[in-house]
Amino acid sequence: MLDTTPLTAAVDQFADRLRAAPQSRLQRGAAAEALALARELSARAQRLEEPGASVREMPDAGMFAAADQVTVAARDLAVVLPGQGELTEAVDLVEASMKRAGV
C-alpha cells in the first residue's frame, strides 16, 4: 500500500495557511489558486477512478471554502494513487500552488 502521508501533510499545511489568511489575501488570488489546485487534484482522481469518463469540474464554493475543497480533492486523489511517481507529482503540485498563493 502506498504511503500518501507526504501528500496529505502538504495539503493540510496549505489548507491551514488558507484558513489563517486574511480575507484580503484570499481575494488577491490565494483562494483562486486553491480552487485551481482542487480542480486539478479532483480531475486527476476522476481520471484514475474512471478512465475514459468525462471529468466533472469542482464548483466554486467561494473563497472561504477553498481550503476544504483542496483537502477533499487531495484525499480523494490519495485513495486512488497508483504509485510513487504520481504521489511525488501531486506533492510537487501542491507545494507549487502554495507558493503561488503566497500563503
Place of cell 485513495: 79
Q: How many CB atoms lie within 10 A of CB 20?
A: 10
CB 31 within 8 A of CB 100: no
Closest-CA residue to 67 (of 24, 100, 33): 33
Written as one letter, the residue type at 98 is: M
Query: How confident is the model over 46-87, as pLDDT tens digits?
Result: 999 999 999 999 999 999 999 999 999 999 999 999 999 999
pTM: 0.95
Kindly give the interhelix angle for 84-101 and 5-20, rounded to the nearest 10 degrees: 10
Q: Write out the three cell numbers for 82.
A: 497508483
Looking at residue 1, what is its pLDDT? Answer: 82
Report, as an integer, the average pLDDT of 94-99: 98
